[in-house]
Amino acid sequence: MRLGVLDIGSNTVHLLVATARAGGRPTARTSDRTVLRLMRYLTPDGAISEEGVSALVDAVTRARLRAETEGVDELLATATSAVRDAVNGAEVIARIEAALGQPLQVLGGETEARFTFLAVRRWFGWSAGQILLFDIGGGSLEIAGGADELPDLAESVALGAGRMTVQFLPDDPPRDDEIEALRDHAASVLAPVADRFAALPRPDHVVGSSKAIRSLAKLAGFPVPGWSGIERMVLPRTALKDWIPRLARIPAEARQELPGITPDRTFQIVAGAVVLHQAMKAMDVDELEVSPWALREGVLLRYIESLAQG
């Protein structure tokens, strides 16, 4: 079966086309994305502007046409925090559904975390034991932990890299006091979350997913040998901390010259680094390993399971 997963996120509209079957490993065929950075289109009252909605609808339409060209049997369309939290979210959803010609599944933050956790568990397997997961999107940070296929605890907090850039780091490059204000805010938001996760067993494996974390791992982390010749990327907290002031001193346009920093991440990467470092600190995590699978793969896996279960 050829499936398409359309992930309408805060930063990109991303289409993944993969062949999949019950009990088998999904194989990616096409990955196509449009960079939007929806947070820049937010009005003061928290709505997505008409310009932003139009750009979003155009991107969704292009993705639908690409999915049709690829001959997908089913298109699984999801939206996350940017659409979910917008004041005019209902109107935006209606226009997206009109462009798609089908319903849109709007994922709650905890559901987003659970789907991502499922993908991470399948990637690392049962031998990973107790997993603690961090996933930083444009609008929110998801944290999940557990020893099974689905997490025992999953939370979503409004600490996404795009959202924090707009709220705390308006200058380019950001000032030291702006960085400090973001650090204090993230620590305050994460403190009660860390208390709740402290009730879980100590993780055997800490994992980071999402493009922001992969970018930071390429910048500040290092590769280690993996299974079947696949390199694994590890990101130490100390290395991440050392890179934050260096990143913050570089103008956004110049950051794309750094390893792992793509043009669509240059504006948000400082906020993403600060939030991830504070999350690792709050959870007493020394290092994490990067997962190549995340939300899109989780949505696909859950759909295949639902078909197998009848």
Q: Which of 75, 106, 137 is the last residue in one of the domains? A: 106
Q: What is the pTM of this model?
A: 0.95
Structural domains counted in the chain: 2
Looking at the DSSP bridge assignments, the partners of residue 141 are 136, 157
**Residue 250 and residue 160 in one domain:** yes
**153: in domain:** yes
- Amino acid sitting at position 309: Q
**11: in domain:** yes
**Residue 288 and residue 168 in one domain:** yes
Indicate the burial class of 302 (C-beta count within 10 angstroms; 0-12, 13-18, 19 or more): middle
CATH of the domain at 287: 3.30.420.150
Q: Which of 46, 73, 106 is the last residue in one of the domains? A: 106
**Residue 76 and residue 192 in one domain:** no
**Residue 24 and residue 72 in one domain:** yes
Summarize the chain as % helix, strand, coil (round to 5). Answer: 50, 20, 30
pLDDT band at 22 (very low <50, low <70, confident <90, very high): confident
**Residue 140 and residue 175 in one domain:** yes
Asked whether the predicted pLDDT for residue 41 surpasses 90, the reply is: yes
| Structure tokens that stand for 307 in this block | 């078909």
pLDDT tens by residue, 275-291 = 999 999 999 999 999 99
Q: Which of 86, 94, 70, 52 is nearest to 16 (CA)?
A: 70
**214: in domain:** yes
| Amino acid 24: pLDDT | 85
**Residue 140 and residue 177 in one domain:** yes
**77: in domain:** yes
**Residue 137 and residue 88 in one domain:** no
**35: in domain:** yes
pLDDT band at 156 (very low <50, low <70, confident <90, very high): very high
* Distances, alpha carbon 164 to alpha carbons 38, 215, 307, in Å: 13, 17, 39
**Residue 17 and residue 92 in one domain:** yes
**Residue 77 and residue 157 in one domain:** no
| Amino acid 32: pLDDT | 94
Q: Which of 20, 18, 8 is nearest to 307 (CA)?
A: 20
**205: in domain:** yes
- Say which residues have a Cβ less than 8 Å from residue 4's Cβ, sequence separation at least 6: 15, 16, 17, 67, 70, 72, 74, 75, 76
Question: Alpha helix locations (H) across the chain?
Answer: 50-70, 81-85, 89-100, 109-124, 161-168, 176-197, 211-220, 237-249, 252-255, 269-282, 295-308
**Residue 273 and residue 165 in one domain:** yes
| Amino acid 82: pLDDT | 86
| Structure tokens that stand for 249 in this block | 């001193």
| Amino acid 62: pLDDT | 98
> Is 223 in a helix, a strand, or coil?
strand
**Residue 178 and residue 220 in one domain:** yes
pLDDT band at 230 (very low <50, low <70, confident <90, very high): confident
pLDDT band at 310 (very low <50, low <70, confident <90, very high): low
| Amino acid 231: pLDDT | 86
Proportion of the chain above pLDDT 70, given as a percent: 100
Angstrom distance (rounded) from CA 121 to CA 129: 9
**114: in domain:** no
**Residue 44 and residue 183 in one domain:** no
Angstrom distance (rounded) from CA 297 to CA 113: 12
Pairing of strands 74-79, 105-106: parallel
CATH of the domain at 96: 3.30.420.40
**159: in domain:** yes
Asked whether the predicted pLDDT for residue 157 surpasses 70, the reply is: yes
- Say which residues have a Cβ less than 8 Å from residue 65's Cβ, sequence separation at least 6: none
Asked whether the predicted pLDDT for residue 171 surpasses 70, the reply is: yes
Note if the bond before 173 is cis, omega within 30 degrees. yes
The residue count for the chain: 310
Q: Which domain holds residue 160?
A: 124-295
pLDDT tens by residue, 256-281 = 999 999 888 899 999 999 999 999 99
Q: Which of 106, 136, 167 is the last residue in one of the domains? A: 106
pLDDT tens by residue, 231-246 = 899 999 999 999 999 9
